Chains A and B, each alone.
Chain A
């Protein structure tokens, strides 16, 4: 079982109290770290107002005394009952390793409205925000950039230097070409030494069979996987009113289509894909959170975390 993290322990009440996040402001913030901080502040503000102070000082588990352990941590009462030495471990003492994977394919560089955030921009802020949140709580966080392969990788650290490198790498991401996400995840499984929590921010336009194999591989390595499916409203609703020549952002393929005519078929196939993806993550012991680029990400994320917290209890 992976150690509990304050990130994932937000109670349901938090979700309802989250202040509204100004997406426009978030998009217009000049630097990624500012955007990440704005996002995290928004999230934590809700948490701080909660009567629950957090549970990082709560007892986590016993383990057998080992040479080198501080004798003050020995539970003598338990020794009196069992005549064995056990060390009390607290939750704040467990450090979580978080890996954040960002899909940098061309399909992520898409926004259906000129002034709105692209999927990549939205995902980048999400990833940066999660990194900031991890750093604030002292957890180690790493980064993987997904392209045709694992194009960039940062090991999990929690230092300030690491944070700066993390932000720098994220800010420098340039979307291009198709992504082989399955291959990226395979590569990631090779380079992550211990079990970790892996956030994958992508649209998951991937070959389902291969993606399923990759996710199963991560599950086999005891990683916890959370998919952040970032989608544009047009992808979700397909409310394009006119006919036109549709161009694939990744392959450049063109189709002359009449949107009203194909909408029903598109939605049917797209929803089937989402359902299949959701099932794939559940089979891999993880979760899938769908995020719309026209809605504040905190709400969806907090909602997911609340549901997850309830599920753990």
Chain B
């Protein structure tokens, strides 16, 4: 045992005082002549013996009380390696929509708060929000109360579950804490969709323990409106409803707009997908429709919105390249989507339309006289996607705009892009899946991009920029540091090419008017000019309008309005359909295997030395309080006993 203020132990010498008084009082050898001992018989002897025992006990209690008080003032603490190690705990909070299922949030939140109760002053804790991307709601701090109150006030949102990022961020953060007992508290419902993309073969960093909650309540009734489409041949809607539980369920579906009920229908749902046609006459000038069915265990996905139908094509202007034109093919394939289809057009000689996207792959446009057309287009805010081929005119034009493109030295092995910025709108098509298809694309030619105005979208293996965005508000440019031909890359024949091209062009052109139905978590492209974004309908708590431009990521479903640049657009944002599937991860043993069996080197080094200051160790144990309490009890016992010995 160690002492914070050992000087107070000198106070224990006061024990001598009751001992001296005890022996002074004793005087048992005094001879007392008494007329008769007939009334002082064996009973008196027993009383005397008991009295002696009580007096010794009283002395013992007095000494003990003094010793305990002295020890309490000396502030004792244990400095064993087990106790002295501070704890660092990260609570990773799944704030996805599935956590709104009845009973889940309350149970898991209570469980996580109980885990935090294990911490003592001097320990650290942090609160990490998982979705849409891992964000520290409360970074690691000594202020445990702040973490607790943040956790208490937190509520689940409408995001899609993403576990991989949070697992990595929390694990890396904990691994950086030297000599601490590291615990990752996993406040999540272990939804299957959340664990997708997690590499179970790569466990948490050594020394990091992960705690999972007990099983969460299973839903008894669960169905979701997964998509809404306008009927083509007749007025009305077609709703896709997926029933998860039970096997069959009867639901009432209501279509309304501006507070008026347009259609009502009672349907019998079967497990799986159900297509429901809802014919009704749509009034003029309505901003969109709300489709709702009676609530179940997860009410958040029982309501969906649909925006008014809009024209379904947009133009992309392509320069002329030798056949085959992979990009044109990729763009044409979007026609199968029905909505938000893209129309590739040859780049005109003059008067490039600003309301479109120009894709440049050859070096012809960098030479006079077309370069003036390019400059005019770019200065007018036209969106550009440039593939660098290394021609002198192209490099010169880039240099004029502060961008350098240096040819990479040829290598035997192909390069693969890394560090993809998963938050970038151009990668929205991969946000729900995995970036792995993009990372498998091989490159044999490339250029290292460099500019203070460029933001990387993806890097070469050596960390140089390979794909970058230049977006300063007035211009939008996507710069690919490689030519788009088969000699340079196999990307055009890869499955990831079409979705990337589709999403990148949509983002570049801000064709927000073309696609009006989005999911929570999507980055909704908006015109660069600032405009007013406001909620028309939905559960969003933020009802006030706000000024936004460029893009916005709605956090709640609903019907939204954007007004700016003389245009008014309506957006329907719906809950992510995959989030409605509450099925847990089917292999819990894989979750248990996330902990590494290895001990970190840092942990080994730190175990030898005390890692916590004496004050922190003492403050954590608070033995003095128990000693004072014990001293109080001892004094009470002494008082009771002393009263018996003085009668």
A→B interface (CB under 8 Å) = 107-108, 110, 119, 203, 205, 232, 234-235, 240, 242-251, 253, 255-266, 269-270, 273
Question: Quick check: B28 and A243 within 8 Å, CB to CB?
Answer: yes
Report the bound CA distance from A270 to B38 in whole Å.
9
Question: CB-nearest residue of chain B relative to A235?
Answer: B35
- Asked whether any CB of chain A lies closer than 8 Å to the CB of B337, the reply is no
Enumerate chain A residues within 8 angstroms of B45, measured Cβ to Cβ.
255, 257
Report the bound CA distance from A264 to B646 in whole Å.
11
Tell me the smallest distance from the CB of A240 to a CB of chain B, in Å.
6
Question: Quick check: A232 and B27 within 8 Å, CB to CB?
Answer: no
- Asked whether any CB of chain A lies closer than 8 Å to the CB of B176, the reply is no
Pick out which of these stretches binds chain A: B48-56, B146-154, B462-470, B609-617.
Answer: B48-56
Question: Quick check: A261 and B50 within 8 Å, CB to CB?
Answer: yes
Enumerate chain A residues within 8 angstroms of B35, measured Cβ to Cβ.
107-108, 110, 119, 203, 205, 232, 235, 248-250
- Asked whether any CB of chain A lies closer than 8 Å to the CB of B10, the reply is no
- The 6 A-B pairs at the shortest CB distance, nearest first, are namely A261-B51, A244-B30, A262-B44, A107-B35, A244-B32, A248-B37
Tell me the smallest distance from the CB of B589 to a CB of chain A, in Å.
71
Q: Which residues from 593 to 647 on chain B have a C-beta closer than 8 Å to any C-beta of chain A?
A: 645-647
Tell me the smallest distance from the CB of A175 to a CB of chain B, in Å.
11
Question: CB-nearest residue of chain A relative to B29?
Answer: A245
28 A-B residue pairs with Cβ-Cβ distance under 8 Å, sorted by A, are A107-B35, A107-B36, A108-B35, A203-B35, A203-B36, A205-B36, A242-B27, A243-B48, A244-B27, A244-B31, A246-B32, A246-B37, A246-B40, A247-B33, A247-B34, A257-B44, A258-B48, A258-B51, A259-B32, A261-B51, A261-B645, A262-B44, A262-B48, A263-B647, A265-B43, A265-B44, A266-B44, A273-B39
Question: Quick check: A245 and B50 within 8 Å, CB to CB?
Answer: no
Q: A235-B34, A248-B36, A261-B51 given. 13 additional CB < 8 A pairs?
A: A232-B35, A244-B29, A245-B30, A246-B32, A246-B37, A246-B40, A255-B40, A262-B40, A262-B44, A262-B47, A262-B48, A266-B40, A266-B44
Report the bound CA distance from A238 to B483 in whole Å.
118
Tell me the smallest distance from the CB of B645 to a CB of chain A, in Å.
7
Report the bound CA distance from A29 to B451 in whole Å.
131
Q: Is the interface of B mostly helix, strand, loop or mixed?
A: mixed
Report the bound CA distance from A224 to B38 in whole Å.
29
Report the bound CA distance from A234 to B45 in whole Å.
19
- Asked whether any CB of chain A lies closer than 8 Å to the CB of B26, the reply is yes
Q: Is the interface of A mostly helix, strand, loop or mixed?
A: mixed
Tell me the smallest distance from the CB of B462 to a CB of chain A, in Å.
93
Question: Quick check: A249 and B44 within 8 Å, CB to CB?
Answer: no
Tell me the smallest distance from the CB of A116 to a CB of chain B, in Å.
14
Tell me the smallest distance from the CB of B37 to a CB of chain A, in Å.
4
Question: Quick check: B39 and A110 within 8 Å, CB to CB?
Answer: no
Question: Quick check: A265 and B30 within 8 Å, CB to CB?
Answer: no
Enumerate chain B residues within 8 angstroms of A253, measured Cβ to Cβ.
37
Q: Which residues from 44 to 75 on chain B have a C-beta closer than 8 Å to any C-beta of chain A?
A: 44-45, 47-48, 50-52
Enumerate chain A residues within 8 angstroms of B48, measured Cβ to Cβ.
243, 256-258, 261-262
Question: CB-nearest residue of chain A relative to B42?
Answer: A255
Question: CB-nearest residue of chain A relative to B36?
Answer: A205
The answer to whether residues A266 and B36 also contact, given A244-B29, A244-B30 and a CB cut-off of 8 A, is no
Question: CB-nearest residue of chain A relative to B644?
Answer: A261
Question: CB-nearest residue of chain B relative to A259?
Answer: B32
Report the bound CA distance from A249 to B38 in whole Å.
11
Enumerate chain B residues within 8 angstroms of A240, measured Cβ to Cβ.
32
Question: Quick check: A260 and B36 within 8 Å, CB to CB?
Answer: no
Most chain A beta carbons < 10 A, residue from B35, B40, B45, B50 = B35
Report the bound CA distance from A234 to B36 in whole Å.
12
Tell me the smallest distance from the CB of A249 to a CB of chain B, in Å.
5
Report the bound CA distance from A308 to B553 in whole Å.
114
Question: CB-nearest residue of chain B relative to A273?
Answer: B39
Report the bound CA distance from A13 to B36 in whole Å.
37
Tell me the smallest distance from the CB of A19 to a CB of chain B, in Å.
31
